């Protein structure tokens, strides 16, 4: 060891500096489990670098099957510690079923404790990933845990993804999955009066849209770090949180997931981020009152610096005319549930809304919860103040986060209380 040359010492120091630089990402002071969070952010950035490199050298197309496979392997490895998904479970029977019309794949997790029952409640889960990425595979750890800890049958839906399958396909696939289970409920031993739906991020959007369609046929909706609107990108959570996770989950360029979903092409991405995609006329319309933060944003969730500000928005700028494909889809409540009027929101199922304090889309969930409450819907809103957008997926493995465990715990309790 004494013979270690100055070159190796330099090398080790250099590697140390590079690793430190790579892992050092700005994080809020009160963020919990900082080192795990740094590793998670670095892992996601590494996927981003690898993806961009493979795209540049012509080996990969964004949102191709290979790209999606790569994302699934990354996410599975980061959320479980293994690159593959285990097919067996001591506590569960796991099998895939398919809808009749479009052969939509669903993974059914049946707790062994429920196998003797004939009428079992069911929880449909719609995974996140911006309508464009992820699958029931990369969400296996979360959905499995939900089934194991709640004793409720969980059905994870592998809806088709955008941009190849824009709206309404992903939403219709979720509806078709529910319809299939309802029509074969005897054979599956499901109680059709006790259906819960839920999802995170884009999956939370799908759960809310499914609830807007099926109303009281659904008993409970779980809206976890959901995305609900593309009307304004100047919410307090956008302003406060864009500096954290800015290369990964809080990257404003994630609006590409919206343009994928609504099939609008990518030429307006920068305009969206700057709120130019809405015309002054639209900014002065009733729709803007649905996302008016002066009205719907409880100041207890807002960071100190913005607390005493008037949150009203400027209305005197933007395109003269809102581009047609936006106007139509941006205002469609089945795409952007925050665009639903009060009437549409009145007879919705009870909602559990969970948001993360350091998520750029935190305010979408908070405002939707407020609007549901205003329309007379029973809601519970839980804001994990020091958490970030996809923290809830880290339920096990070396990067398991305690906030993910708390989230599971919250959902399981709620299922037991209300389903
Ligand atoms: C905030 O600003 C808007 C528009 O400038 C104004 O109409 C409103 O009264 C202001 N709200 C408060 C509480 O000052
Ligand atoms: C963005 O929102 C802040 C309040 O949160 C407001 O002061 C500012 O004028 C808004 N900017 C635009 C361009 O509307």
pLDDT band at residue 2 under the 50/70/90 scheme: low
Ligand with the closest atom to the CA of 310: 1
pLDDT of residue 152: 98
If 0-12 CB within 10 Å is exposed, 13-18 middle and 19+ buried, where does residue 168 land? middle
Closest approach atom of ligand 2 to CA 313: 14
Query: Which DSSP state fits 190?
Result: E
- State the Cα–Cα distance between residues 150 and 68, nearest whole angstrom: 30
Q: What is the mean pLDDT of the chain?
A: 95
Instruction: Tell me the Ramachandran region of residue 265: left when phi exceeds 0, alpha when psi lies from -120 to 50, beta otherwise.
Output: left
Phi, psi (deg, nearest 5) at residue 343: -55, -45
Of 200, 240, 195, 238, the C-alpha closest to 214 is 195
Please report, for residues 120, 235, 287, the alpha-carbon distance to residue 311 in angstroms, rounded to integers and kept in the order given: 46, 8, 16
Atom of ligand 1 nearest to the CA of 311: 1
**Ligand 1 centroid – CA 368 distance (Å):** 22
Looking at the CA of 299, which ligand is closest? 2
pLDDT digits (tens, 9 = 90+) for 315-324: 999 999 888 8
Does the CB atom of residue 284 touch ligand 1 within 6 A? no
> Of 85, 81, 172, which Cα lies nearest the Cα of 400?
81
Mean pLDDT of 115-132: 98
CA 62 to chain centre: 20
* Phi-psi domain of 318 (left: phi exceeds 0; alpha: psi -120 through 50; beta: other): left
User: What is the whole-number distance in angstroms between the Cα of residue 283 and the centre of ligand 1?
Assistant: 15
For 360-411, the pLDDT digits (tens) are: 999 999 999 999 999 999 999 999 999 999 999 999 999 999 999 999 999 9
In this structure, which residue's CA is closest to atom 1 in ligand 1? Answer: 310
Q: What are the strands of the beta sheet with 92-98, ordered from one edge?
A: 92-98, 105-111, 153-158, 120-126, 190-200, 220-224, 350-356, 379-384
- The owner of tokens 């100190």 is 304
414 has pLDDT over 60: yes
Ligand 2 pocket check for 313: Cβ under 6 Å: yes
CA dist., res. 407 & res. 156, Å (int): 18
CB half-sphere exposure, 365, CA atoms < 13 A: 35
* Probe residue for ligand 2, chosen from 234, 311, 317 as the CB with the greatest number of ligand atoms within 8 Å: 234
Q: What is the mean pLDDT of residues 357-361?
A: 98
Q: Which two tokens stand for residue 54?
A: 């493979």
Q: Which residues 6+ apart lie within 8 Å of 96 measured at CB?
A: 105, 106, 107, 108
* Model pLDDT for residues 206-217, shown as the tens digit of each residue: 999 999 999 999
Query: The tokens of 76 are what?
Result: 């599975």
> Which pLDDT belongs to residue 1?
54
- Going from the Cα of 312 to the center of ligand 1, the distance in angstroms, rounded, reads 6
Locate the ligand 2 atom nearest the alpha carbon of residue 317 and give its number: 13
Structure tokens at 118: 């004939």
312 CB within 6 A, ligand 1: yes
Nearest to 312 by CA among 294, 328, 326, 325: 294
Nearest ligand to the C-alpha atom of residue 311: 2
């Amino acid at each position: 060891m004494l013979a270690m040359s100055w070159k190796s010492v330099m090398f080790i120091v250099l590697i140390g500096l590079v690793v430190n630089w790579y892992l050092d990402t700005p994080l809020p002071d009160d963020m919990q489990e900082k080192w795990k969070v740094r590793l998670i952010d670095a892992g996601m950035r590494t996927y981003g670098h690898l993806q961009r490199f493979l795209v540049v050298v012509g080996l990969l197309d964004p949102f191709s099957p290979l790209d999606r496979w790569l994302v699934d392997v990354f996410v599975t490895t980061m959320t479980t510690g293994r690159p593959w998904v285990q097919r067996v479970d001591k506590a569960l029977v796991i099998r895939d079923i398919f809808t009749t019309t479009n052969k939509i794949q669903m993974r059914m997790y049946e707790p062994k404790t429920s196998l003797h029952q004939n009428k079992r409640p069911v929880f449909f889960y719609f995974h996140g990933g911006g309508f464009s990425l992820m699958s029931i595979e990369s969400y296996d750890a979360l959905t499995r845990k939900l089934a194991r800890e709640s004793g409720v049958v969980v059905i994870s839906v592998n809806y088709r993804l955008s941009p190849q399958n824009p709206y309404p396909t992903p939403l219709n696939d979720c509806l078709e999955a529910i319809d299939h289970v309802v029509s074969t409920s005897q054979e599956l031993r499901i109680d059709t009066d006790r259906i819960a739906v839920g999802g995170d991020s884009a999956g939370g959007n799908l759960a809310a849209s499914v609830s807007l369609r099926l109303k009281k046929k659904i008993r409970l909706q779980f809206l976890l770090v959901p995305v609900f609107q593309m009307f304004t990108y100047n919410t307090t959570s956008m302003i406060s949180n864009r500096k954290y996770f800015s290369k990964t989950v809080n990257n404003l360029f994630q609006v590409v997931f919206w343009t994928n979903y609504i099939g609008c092409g990518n030429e307006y991405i920068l305009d969206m981020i700057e709120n130019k995609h809405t015309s002054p006329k639209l900014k002065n319309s009733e729709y803007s009152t649905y996302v008016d933060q002066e009205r719907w944003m409880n100041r207890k969730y807002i960071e100190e610096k913005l607390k005493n500000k008037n949150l009203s928005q400027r209305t005197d700028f933007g395109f003269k005319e809102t581009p047609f494909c936006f106007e139509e889809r941006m205002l469609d409540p089945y795409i952007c549930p925050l665009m639903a009027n009060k009437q549409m929101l009145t007879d919705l199922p009870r909602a559990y809304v969970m948001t993360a304090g350091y998520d750029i889309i935190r305010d979408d969930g908070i405002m939707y919860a407020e609007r549901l409450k205003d329309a007379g819907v029973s809601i519970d809103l839980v804001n994990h103040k020091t958490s970030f957008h996809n923290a809830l997926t880290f339920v096990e493995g070396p990067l398991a986060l305690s906030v993910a465990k708390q989230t599971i715990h919250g959902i399981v309790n709620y299922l037991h209380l209300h389903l």
